[in-house]
């Protein structure tokens, strides 16, 4: 009996030690894949979008050189050069701005990769023709192409950085704009999935846009300040001619989204799409603009704008709402919570970010401030005075040269070379806005 007990105990010891009965060690179990983090998904989405803007930058210079070598194409060469240079500089600018506004991920290798890419983009941008109003030369186009060729493959460097941190890897893999980087280990059955993050992100963006269209007010289009009243006609005519485009873009976006496979979620999508489709024919065609629209007086434009606002107000947001539907499915709930354009389920109501200078607009005189604005006020920054006005969904900046309107996270600049004022909207809520103002 003692012998049998010893044999059983010996077998148990082998299993407990992670060994097979033939003496070979079993592989250690892989650690579970960590949960994706909302901030890291947003970081990944922004970086991948910027990197995508850089793909194929070298394409185009061969066509320019081919045209330059053919004397019969001489008349077409200037436009071909301009198109090439403007395309390159535009994509460099898009990528560069996206990276500069990106908060750090907190992961050393990833942030170092982004910082290095930013420096490389700055170096290439310096090779672009400095005078954007002048016709670029063939030599300038070739110099720019040579500089672009020095850019390292950004996607490869980014992949290496992503592999350095398991949580970033998991977050990167569900970001819609990123190509997944292979990751090993058991995955939680309720973890976010790339298709559902993409679905939720698109739907949240569409709901936000539809809500903004539905909430349009005539007061947002009329400038009562007599100094800028001349701009009201432009604002009204632009609104009238573009209202159809806003709905058409949403219809196109929702019409191409891949179904989630969750009946309640797809029903919500279908209902919102049907409502937008029913509204679209009642708005001015998105591809036409009456030739006399810009010359009509404000009093003639106002009733047209008011009629369109009435049509937009009939957009129906389905019930139950998207957060309620997402909360009923664990995988969709977690996918919704990490999607950059969605507010996490159960999060407190939105609030304005703190303003370092509070309501002290005088703090902006030195050229840099962060202030809380209510309604409308004149602000002077580094000698340049402008009027800032809070709208239902953003802010309007009025100055002698014209106006700029943008929403949360957006920005606008005005002034002259070497003396520019930049205003960024950090938040807007209930007629109040937090503005980040800088000069340079």
* Tens digits of residue pLDDT in 273-297: 999 999 999 998 866 677 777 778 8
Q: What is the CA radius of gyration of the chain?
A: 28
At which residue do the structure tokens 């709402």 appear?
321
Tens-digit pLDDT profile for residues 225-275? 888 888 888 889 989 988 899 999 999 999 999 999 999 999 999 999 999
What pLDDT does 54 receive? 79
The mean pLDDT value for 404-422 works out to 87
Tokens of 156: 């490869």
What pLDDT does 117 receive? 87
Q: Say which residues have a Cβ less than 8 Å from residue 298's Cβ, sequence separation at least 6.
A: 222, 232, 233, 236
pLDDT-wise least confident of 96-110, 194-208, 350-364? 96-110
CB 412 within 8 A of CB 404: yes
What pLDDT does 101 receive? 77
Q: Is the pLDDT of residue 314 over 80?
A: yes
Cα 275 to Cα 114: distance, rounded to the nearest angstrom: 42
Q: What is the DSSP letter of 362?
A: G
Q: Is the pLDDT of residue 16 over 50?
A: no
Cα 290 to Cα 273: distance, rounded to the nearest angstrom: 28
Q: Is the pLDDT of residue 2 over 50?
A: no
Quickly state the pLDDT bin for 127 (edges 50, 70, 90). confident
Dihedral, 371, 377, 383, 384 alpha carbons, nearest 10: 110
Given CA atoms 216, 205, 107, 179 in this order, what sign does their dihedral have? negative
What pLDDT does 58 receive? 66
CB 421 within 8 A of CB 368: no
């Amino acid at each position: 009996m003692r012998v049998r007990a010893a044999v059983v105990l010996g077998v148990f010891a082998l299993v407990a030690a992670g060994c097979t009965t033939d003496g070979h060690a079993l592989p250690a179990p892989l650690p579970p894949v960590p949960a994706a983090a909302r901030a890291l998904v947003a970081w990944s989405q922004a970086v991948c979008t910027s990197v995508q803007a850089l793909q194929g930058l070298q394409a185009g210079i061969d066509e320019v050189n081919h045209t330059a070598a053919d004397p019969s194409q001489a008349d077409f060469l200037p436009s071909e050069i301009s198109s090439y240079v403007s395309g390159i500089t535009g994509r460099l600018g898009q990528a560069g701005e996206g990276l500069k506004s990106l908060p750090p991920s907190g992961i050393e290798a990833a942030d170092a990769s982004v910082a290095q890419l930013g420096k490389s983009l700055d170096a290439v941008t310096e090779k672009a023709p400095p005078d954007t109003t002048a016709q670029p030369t063939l030599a300038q186009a070739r110099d720019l192409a040579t500089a672009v060729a020095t850019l390292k493959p950004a996607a490869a460097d980014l992949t290496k950085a992503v592999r350095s941190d398991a949580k970033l890897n998991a977050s990167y893999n569900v970001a819609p704009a990123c190509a997944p980087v292979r990751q090993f280990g058991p995955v939680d059955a309720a973890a976010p999935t790339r298709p559902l993050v993409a679905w939720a992100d698109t739907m949240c963006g569409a709901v936000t846009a539809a809500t903004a269209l539905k909430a349009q007010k005539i007061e947002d289009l009329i400038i009562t300040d007599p100094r800028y009243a001349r701009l009201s006609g432009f604002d009204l005519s632009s609104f009238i001619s573009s209202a159809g485009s806003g709905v058409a873009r949403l219809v196109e976006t929702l019409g191409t989204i891949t179904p989630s496979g969750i009946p309640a979620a797809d029903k919500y999508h279908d209902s919102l799409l049907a409502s937008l489709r029913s509204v679209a024919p009642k708005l001015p065609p998105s591809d036409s603009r009456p030739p006399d629209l810009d010359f009509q007086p404000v009093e003639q434009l106002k009733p047209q704008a008011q009629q369109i606002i009435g049509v937009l107000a009939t957009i129906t947001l389905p019930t139950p709402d998207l957060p309620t539907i997402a909360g009923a499915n664990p995988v969709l709930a977690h996918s919704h919570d990490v999607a950059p354009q969605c507010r996490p389920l159960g999060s407190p109501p939105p609030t304005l970010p703190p303003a370092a200078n509070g309501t002290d607009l005088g703090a902006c005189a030195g050229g840099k401030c962060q202030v809380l604005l209510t309604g409308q006020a004149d602000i002077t920054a580094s000698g340049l005075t402008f009027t800032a006005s809070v709208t239902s969904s953003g802010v309007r900046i009025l100055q002698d040269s014209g106006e700029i309107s943008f929403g949360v996270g957006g920005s606008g600049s005005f002034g002259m070379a070497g003396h520019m004022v930049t205003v960024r909207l950090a938040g807007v809520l209930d007629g109040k806005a937090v503005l980040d103002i800088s000069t340079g």
